[in-house]
Amino acid sequence: MKKITTFADLKDNKGRNLNRMIDKQLTHLNKQVWKGLGISLVITLVFVSSLHGQTIVNSPLSYIGLGELYTPETPSNMMMGGIGVSNSNGIYSNQVNPALLARNLYTMFEVGVNTELKNMQDYRQRQRSFGGNYQSFNLTVPVIPSRWTMSLGVRPFSTVNYETRSFRRLNVLGVDSLLYSYKGQGGVSKLTISNGFRIGKDLYLGLETGFLFGAVNRNIGTQNLSDGQYYKIQLENQTNYSDFTFKAGAAYRKVLKDDIYLNVGATMDLSNQLNAKSVKRFVTYDLGGLNIINSDTIKSPLSITQQLPVSSRVGLSVERLAHWMVGVDYVRTDWSKVDNNLGRSLKLPVSEQISIGAEYTPDFESISNYFKRVTYRVGISSATTPYDFAGNGIYAKDQSISLGLALPLRNFLNYVNVSYQLGKRGTLADNLLEEQYHRLTVGLTLGDVWFRKVKID
């Protein structure tokens, strides 16, 4: 009998009659599933054509480097606090550790969207914002089942979206004054080709090749409110990014007893910089700020190098196949070479994150009770960040709790994933800025059997 190594294996090997059931279900659903996949791919092209400037919501903390970085987790990982360095059930594709893709035995298509409600406040005012963005598109295909799996994907990598203003009086009466504005907008997206391999019996190795592309605009403007003309003079800096990045991953599984496994994993970013081209110009606008009166390019396209934060991850988990899993991840990110864009001489710190998560499926074979086939997930996360908004050397902490459901459709390869995250970043006392956020992520996982013959007794 074939050894059980993944969630999918357990389903395949529970009995010969189950193969017949799976084959019948996949044949019945094939047209409907892949019709939906075709529609999703069309939507993907529409999103990809407008990736520049995609963002979730306004955040003054996106001034650093390439902006706020998105995490690589799929909705399934997000439910569990983001853990995924050592754990994967063989159904959803693991975008955290490419090595674990080798556990995927079926062709899977995954798509997700994010929405976020954020409340920001300082000592003077409050602001509420709401927005959304696509979360990821991934197509995972086993090239050599149980030995080599490849995944193609696209997702947001970072976003810049902030705008602040300040006034300066030119005389005691305050009649004459200057208005300063600081605005950043844009983002970077990431195309990935990931490969996961199983070496021998229990060792997994993987490599993610990514291509980053996008544009970010950072503008600094001055407007004299006392000369009667109200012209606005603005320094505009547009940076266009395009370069390759690499990430390596490894994982190891050890049988503890029966169908209980101990999993360990690790990943490391292999790229610490990104090539880009920068264009700077001075522009004079009219009162409305829409019509250009005069513009002067002060620097033609200049090749620059943008430093990237470098992350190393380790994870540990224990699982009982197709029933439960508990895991913990640790992430260390070095920001010391990243530009803080504030003119400060101090280097950015090393940030750390610890996440704990779990999943539970009561009985995936249950016929009479649908909710026993649902996978329930929960997680918590605590991280130090590189954001020092107050400039006092106290960096904001980001703490969150998450939970979610994987709702099965007609067979065990198709799920609707719903994830909710509640978090808080920074405090008024330490950082002079506090953010509270609610994130809702909805994903769809569709599966089929490609390039494999299903054996029926």
Residue 122 has pLDDT above 90, yes or no: no
Contact at 8 Å (CB) between 337 and 325? Answer: no
| Averaged pLDDT of the chain | 83
Of 10 and 356, the structure prediction assigns the larger pLDDT to 356
Confidence of residue 448 (pLDDT cuts 50, 70, 90): confident
Residue 277 CA to residue 304 CA, distance in Å, equals 6
Q: According to the model, what pLDDT value does residue 59 have?
A: 74
Residue 82 has pLDDT above 50, yes or no: yes
Average pLDDT over residues 291-316: 86
Average pLDDT over residues 152-170: 86
Q: According to the model, what pLDDT value does residue 25 have?
A: 46
Residue 83 CA to residue 330 CA, distance in Å, equals 9
Q: According to the model, what pLDDT value does residue 456 have?
A: 54
Residue 193 has pLDDT above 60, yes or no: yes
Find the length of the chain: 457
| C-alpha to C-alpha distances, 415 to 254, 349, 354, 377, nearest whole angstrom | 28, 40, 28, 14
Average pLDDT over residues 239-245: 95
47-68 pLDDT, tens digit each: 444 444 344 456 777 878 888 8
Of 28 and 127, the structure prediction assigns the larger pLDDT to 127
CA dihedral 387, 71, 38, 453 (to 10 degrees): 180
**What three-state secondary structure class fits 203?**
strand
Of 39 and 136, the structure prediction assigns the larger pLDDT to 136
**What three-state secondary structure class fits 27?**
helix
Tokens at 347, concatenated? 């280097």
**What three-state secondary structure class fits 85?**
coil
Residue 366 has pLDDT above 70, yes or no: yes
Expressed in angstroms, the distance from the first to the final Cα of the chain is 15
Q: According to the model, what pLDDT value does residue 204 have?
A: 98
Residue 401 CA to residue 421 CA, distance in Å, equals 6
Q: According to the model, what pLDDT value does residue 451 have?
A: 54
307-355 pLDDT, tens digit each: 999 999 999 999 999 899 999 999 999 998 887 765 555 788 999 999 9
Q: According to the model, what pLDDT value does residue 40 have?
A: 47
Q: According to the model, what pLDDT value does residue 223 have?
A: 82
Q: According to the model, what pLDDT value does residue 404 have?
A: 97
Structural domains present in the chain: 7-155+191-208+249-270+308-448 (2.40.160.60)
Of 216 and 179, the structure prediction assigns the larger pLDDT to 216
Give the chain's count of helices (H) and strands (E): 4, 17
DSSP secondary structure string for all residues of 348-373: P-EEEEEEEEEEE-S-TT-SS-GGGS
Torsional sign, CA 240, 207, 83, 11: positive
Please choose, from the candidates 186, 220, 214, 204, the residue with its C-alpha nearest in 3D space to the C-alpha of residue 341. 220
Confidence of residue 297 (pLDDT cuts 50, 70, 90): confident
Q: According to the model, what pLDDT value does residue 52 have?
A: 42
401-430 pLDDT, tens digit each: 999 999 999 777 899 999 999 999 998 888
Tokens at 430, concatenated? 């330490």
Q: According to the model, what pLDDT value does residue 55 have?
A: 44
- Name residues whose C-beta falls within 8 Å of residue 421's C-beta, 6 or more positions apart in sequence: 78, 400, 401, 402, 437, 438, 439, 440, 441
Q: According to the model, what pLDDT value does residue 104 have?
A: 94
Q: According to the model, what pLDDT value does residue 345 have?
A: 55
Residue 376 has pLDDT above 80, yes or no: yes
Residue 121 has pLDDT above 50, yes or no: yes
Q: According to the model, what pLDDT value does residue 57 have?
A: 55
Residue 153 CA to residue 52 CA, distance in Å, equals 17
Q: According to the model, what pLDDT value does residue 443 have?
A: 95
One-letter identity of residue 437:
Y
Share of the chain above pLDDT 70, in %: 81
Residue 426 CA to residue 42 CA, distance in Å, equals 39
